[in-house]
Amino acid sequence: MPRTKIELPHIENMSILDENGVVDKSLEPKIDADTLKTMYRYMLLARRTDERMLLMQRQGRQGTFPQSSGHEAISMGSIIHLKKSDWHVPAYRELAGMLYRGWPIETSLLYWNGFEEGARPPEGVNDLPVCVPIASQLLHAAGIGMAMNIRNDNGVVMTYFGDGASSEGDTHEAMNFASVYQAPVVFMCLNNQYAISVPIAKQMRCETIAQRAVSYGMPGIRVDGNDVLAVYQASLEAVDRARAGLGPTLVEGLTYRFTPHTTADDPKRYRSDAECDLWHKREPLARFKTYLGNKGIYSEKEFAALEEELDAVIKAAVKKSEELAQSEELTNPLAMFDNLYHDIPPYLQEQKDELKDHLASVKKKSAANQNPQKASAH
């Protein structure tokens, strides 16, 4: 048998709005003014919330957390296409999309302060909690998509992961199952070029992550991940394809992590200032703001008013989260036994009763120490 050439699908790279706010009119998607305002609002809210959380972490008021600054275009440009009945399966840098889906700011603040109550999705949307274990959420997304097909549910699953996660076995398994079973899953890769400190050149030999879609038999595309219009268009096509029963798509958004991997990381040990400066010039919010200003959707006065409004929203959320963190509901250690079993096993009930007695004893001793005269009278 002679050697023959196998024709493989080509991979496109798409950019619509460049770093100077100049738009390619031939590719510009038709988005109404209200939707554009919504997209910018949540991108800005996520950025300012992220910045406030960093300040709080440095003050000792917030735990270690992964920042999302620089990833707003990928998150918001894609999530805007989901219905409430669709499924959103995030990793941990999708703050803009989570806020848009109805997650209160105080929920994120609580979660990164160690309160598992912060992982509770809001009522009325099909969202999974933030997923810190790398790539494990992709298997959940594939499974949900496969279940949708079994139930003849005309929905879509959108899931997010980083370039580091793309090197995990879970990613291969999730994409393979989604493709084989034509599950309606949109795989959104936030390629910020570093798996913590490992640059992408040391993670893989392929030129793009998007080209891996070819091996799974699904469409793949790379977009400028700092261009919210390109993300919007690519993810719209992927969502439409999934909803039409044509299976999954891989969308790679090429972006950059402006911040440390987490607030416990020092990126100066593995990234140059010149590289960071270059990517800061390409950041998503500035170019989108220029685009909206040029279209007359926002005036400078309106931009300033929005900043003030969102600042007040964030301050109120911070206040609420710190009040909740001191509430009896969240500080009651007995709650650790709840929501584990429908019928609590005897050995756990015994431990719960023992802890309850211990807490009552501690409370009684504390009261006695605060009022020794009353205690001695008894």
- Are the CB atoms for 287 and 73 separated by under 8 Å? no
- Are the CB atoms for 155 and 85 separated by under 8 Å? yes
> Considering only CA atoms, which of 66, 23, 22 is closest in space to residue 46?
66
One-letter amino acid of 170: D
- Return the number of other C-beta atoms located less than 10 Å from residue 286's C-beta: 15
Give the up-direction half-sphere exposure of residue 241: CA atoms within 13 A in the CB hemisphere. 22
> Among this protein's residues, is 257 annotated catalytic?
yes
List of residues 6+ apart from 262 with CB closer than 8 A: 64, 65, 66, 67
List of residues 6+ apart from 77 with CB closer than 8 A: 39, 228, 229, 230, 231, 232, 235
> Considering only CA atoms, which of 169, 160, 146, 218 is closest in space to residue 191?
160
- DSSP annotation of 17 reads B
Of these residues, 71, 81, 88, 261, which one is catalytic?
A: 261
Strand partners, 221: 12, 251
State how far the Cα of 59 lies from the Cα of 228, in Å rounded to an integer.
33
Q: In degrees to the nearest 10, what's the CA dihedral of 165, 170, 176, 179?
A: -70
C-alpha 125: how far from chain center: 15
Of these residues, 212, 222, 257, 271, which one is catalytic?
A: 257
State how far the Cα of 139 lies from the Cα of 347, in Å rounded to an integer.
33
> Among this protein's residues, is 261 annotated catalytic?
yes
Of these residues, 270, 280, 341, 358, which one is catalytic?
A: 270
State how far the Cα of 243 lies from the Cα of 255, in Å rounded to an integer.
27
Residues labelled as active-site residues: 257, 261, 270
